[in-house]
Structures are given as structure tokens and as C-alpha cells.
């Protein structure tokens, strides 16, 4: 099986970008090890702190953030970083070619139940016109991503990555510590009978989303004429991994729970990297009427409604809007 570096070289990815991806993955291998050790490595449970977004930080959120941040700041190609767990961007090296954004630990509520969790990351070109400590480095649409990926800490540790070409899946070989190419090209079937949404939020959704889900629940007796199944991992990495593996639709729509926060998922380090992976696997990814990758960010921790997955099912969902 082909190793990650050999695959990226064959894909003509520039050497410095390959090295940067390697840096991120070195941190994720350390996270994977600690996750596997669970309670034995002291990573379970909460801290007493809240992050900038008002969420209680889990110990692993903090540890994963420190590990990735520490490794990135040692990499001279990195000009600036942004993380879910950091209020502001962190300046790297003035001459760095790249900027990196990441969700160090996605699916935090699954940490203590031994469920699926992961790290999501994305790499953009650094902007010459802004200094390393200028957050405007990150005002780039998702179309400009040079690489996007996630590492899923599941029963096996898998890396799903696109550097602009196909969305590829690698598996961490624990015997020698390298990622090996196990699915060269993930392809999302255009049709599906599986959806993922947190239905507990139903009463806060827009009417269009409520009507769409109502029709799915009618199964073969409703207008959709087929029976749907529902799956919800509570971690976007796990839910989107299922969609990339066997099709489906993943939704985190706009809701009215909190007026100051019309959506849950963050554009920069959750929606955009996942949207790139989904699009490059033949699926669609929308923030209501607009492809997620076309949304111009206006603030660092901006949130967007998310619908991604099987192309025909996304079209069906959008038709309700």
C-alpha cells in the first residue's frame, strides 16, 4: 500500500505543503495515541474553563490544541494559525507561505463516552498584504483552500485528505506509525436513503427544514416515495465520514435557539474543509442557497448553516427553501 508522502508526491503537491501536512499529522498521531489510552492517559473529563464560544472545554480540547499549535508554530512555512480553541489568530513566521485553521477536537461530547472524535484542518495560502498577526489573513473563501482534511479517531485512525484533487482515505498503520492509502478516491453516491440531523432542534428550525424532514419520515408513503434511515454520531467528523463512505445527507441547519447564533458549525475550520472533501468526492455542500465554499468569511469564528452529502438529496433539500 502506498504511503502518504509517496501519494502526495505523485499528486505533484509542492514539497513545503507536504511537509506542513506531515507536521499536522505528527500532532494527530500523538492525539490518536492518547485517545486510545483513554482514562489511562488522563485525557478524559472537563477543564474548569470555557472557550471563546462559551463552551466548556474538555481536557482533550485543550491538549489537542496545544499539541497542534506547538508543532505548527515550529514550522517556518506557517504565517498564522486559527483554532476553535483560540479567541484570536496566533502569529507564526513573517515569511511563512501558509496559514492553517483547525478544530483540534471535533465531537467533544463524545470524548468521555469512547465515541467517534476527530481533528479537522485546512491550509490556505498566506496573504502577502497582511502581517502574521492580522486576522484578515483568514478572510479567504473556502475555494482557496490548498488542502483540507480530518483525522478520525475511531476504532482505526483514518485520515481523509484532499489537496485539490480526489478525496483520499488513509489508515494509520500502528505497527510503523505511517498513514497508508486505503481508499484512493472516495465517491459519494448521488442518491441516498440516510440522513443525519439533530432532530431535538426541530422546533427551532425554519419551516422549510421541518417540511423536508417531515417528508423523509413519511418514507414510501410520502412524496419522496422511499424509506429513509437516520444516523447521528454527535460529531461532524463521524457523520461526514459516514456520508463520504456510503452516501447520505448531513444537516446542521439554521435554528432560532439563540438569536446571537443562528447556526452551530463554524465556517473556517468545520464547514469549509468538510465542504472541500465532500465536493471533491462528487457531493454537494451548501449554506442554504450558497455553496459553502463560496461564502466570504466576515469573522474568524463565523457560523454557517450546513447541508452536505449526496448531490441529488442536497438538491431535494434545497428545493424546500
Ligand X SMILES: O=P(O)(O)OC[C@H]1O[C@](O)(COP(=O)(O)O)[C@@H](O)[C@@H]1O
For ligand X, the binding residues (CB under 6 A) are 55, 84, 103, 106-108, 198, 234-236, 252, 264
Question: Shortest approach of ligand X to residue 6 CB, angstroms?
Answer: 31
d(CA 190, CA 313): 7
Q: Is 195 or 252 the residue whose CB approaches ligand X more closely?
A: 252
- 109 belongs to an annotated ligand binding site: yes
Question: Which single residue brings its beta carbon nearest to ligand X?
Answer: 236
Whichever of 103 and 239 has its CB closer to Mg ion, that residue is: 103
What distance in Å separates the CA atoms of residue 200 and residue 221, rounded to the nearest whole number? Answer: 24
Closest separation between CB of residue 208 and ligand X, Å?
A: 19
Q: Is 270 exposed, middle or buried (0-12, 13-18, 19+ CB in 10 A)?
A: buried
Smallest distance, Mg ion to C-beta of residue 185, A: 26
Element (H, E) at 159: strand 157-162
Of 89 and 108, CB closest to ligand X: 108
Q: Is 270 annotated as a binding residue?
A: yes
* Minimum CB–partner distance for residue 304 and ligand X (Å): 13
Closest CA to 16 of 96, 80, 115: 96
User: Is 97 flagged in the annotation as binding?
Assistant: no
Q: Is 105 within any annotated ligand binding site?
A: yes
Given the complex with ligand X, which of 7 and 233 has the nearer CB atom? 233
The residues binding Mg ion (CB under 5 A) are: 84, 103, 105-106
- State in angstroms the smallest separation of the CB of 301 from Mg ion: 11
Can you list the pairs that 74-79 forms with residues at least 24 positions away whose Cβ atoms lie under 8 Å?
74/23, 75/19, 75/20, 75/23, 77/16, 77/19, 77/20, 78/20, 79/126, 79/132, 79/137
Q: What are phi and psi of 319, to 5 degrees?
A: -65, -20
Q: Which is nearer to ligand X, 4 or 235 (CB)?
A: 235
The reply, when asked if residue 133 is annotated as ligand binding, is: no
Binding partner of residue 235 among Mg ion, ligand X, none, CB cut-off 5 to 8 Å per kind: ligand X
Q: What region, left, alpha or beta, does residue 152 occupy, with left being phi > 0 and alpha being psi -120 to 50 degrees?
A: beta
Return d(Cα 198, Cα 233) in angstroms, integer.
Answer: 9
Residue numbers belonging to the annotated binding site for Mg(2+): 84, 103, 105-106, 270
Amino acid at each position: 500500500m502506498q504511503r502518504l508522502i509517496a501519494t502526495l508526491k505523485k499528486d505533484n503537491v509542492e514539497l513545503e505543503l507536504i511537509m506542513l501536512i506531515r507536521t499536522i499529522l505528527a500532532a494527530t498521531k500523538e492525539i490518536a495515541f492518547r485517545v486510545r489510552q483513554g482514562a489511562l492517559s488522563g485525557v478524559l473529563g472537563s477543564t474548569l474553563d470555557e472557550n471563546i464560544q462559551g463552551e466548556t472545554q474538555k481536557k482533550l480540547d485543550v491538549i489537542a490544541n496545544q499539541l497542534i499549535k506547538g508543532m505548527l508554530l515550529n514550522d517556518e512555512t506557517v504565517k498564522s494559525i486559527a483554532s476553535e480553541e483560540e479567541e484570536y489568530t496566533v502569529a507564526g513566521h513573517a515569511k511563512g507561505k501558509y496559514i492553517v485553521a483547525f478544530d483540534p477536537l471535533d465531537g467533544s461530547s463524545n470524548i468521555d463516552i469512547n465515541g467517534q472524535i476527530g481533528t479537522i484542518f485546512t491550509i490556505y495560502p498566506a496573504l502577502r498584504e497582511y502581517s502574521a498577526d492580522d486576522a484578515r489573513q483568514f478572510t479567504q473563501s473556502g475555494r482557496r483552500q490548498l488542502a483540507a482534511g480530518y483525522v478520525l479517531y475511531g476504532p482505526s485512525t483514518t485520515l481523509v485528505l484532499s489537496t485539490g484533487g480526489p478525496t483520499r482515505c488513509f489508515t494509520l498503520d500502528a505497527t510503523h506509525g505511517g498513514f497508508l492509502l486505503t481508499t484512493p478516491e472516495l465517491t459519494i453516491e448521488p442518491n441516498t436513503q440516510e440522513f443525519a440531523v439533530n432532530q431535538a432542534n426541530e422546533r427551532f428550525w425554519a419551516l422549510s427544514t421541518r417540511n423536508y424532514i417531515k417528508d423523509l419520515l413519511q418514507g414510501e408513503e410520502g412524496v419522496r416515495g422511499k424509506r429513509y434511515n437516520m444516523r447521528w454520531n454527535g460529531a461532524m467528523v463521524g457523520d461526514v465520514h459516514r456520508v463520504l463512505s456510503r452516501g447520505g445527507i448531513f444537516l446542521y441547519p439554521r435554528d432560532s435557539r439563540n438569536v446571537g447564533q443562528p447556526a452551530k458549525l463554524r465556517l473556517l475550520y468545520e464547514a469549509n474543509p468538510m465542504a472541500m472533501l465532500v465536493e471533491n468526492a462528487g457531493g454537494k455542500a451548501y449554506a442554504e442557497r450558497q455553496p459553502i465554499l463560496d461564502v466570504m468569511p466576515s469573522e474568524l469564528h463565523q457560523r454557517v448553516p450546513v447541508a452536505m452529502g449526496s448531490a441529488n438529496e442536497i438538491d431535494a433539500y434545497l428545493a424546500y427553501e
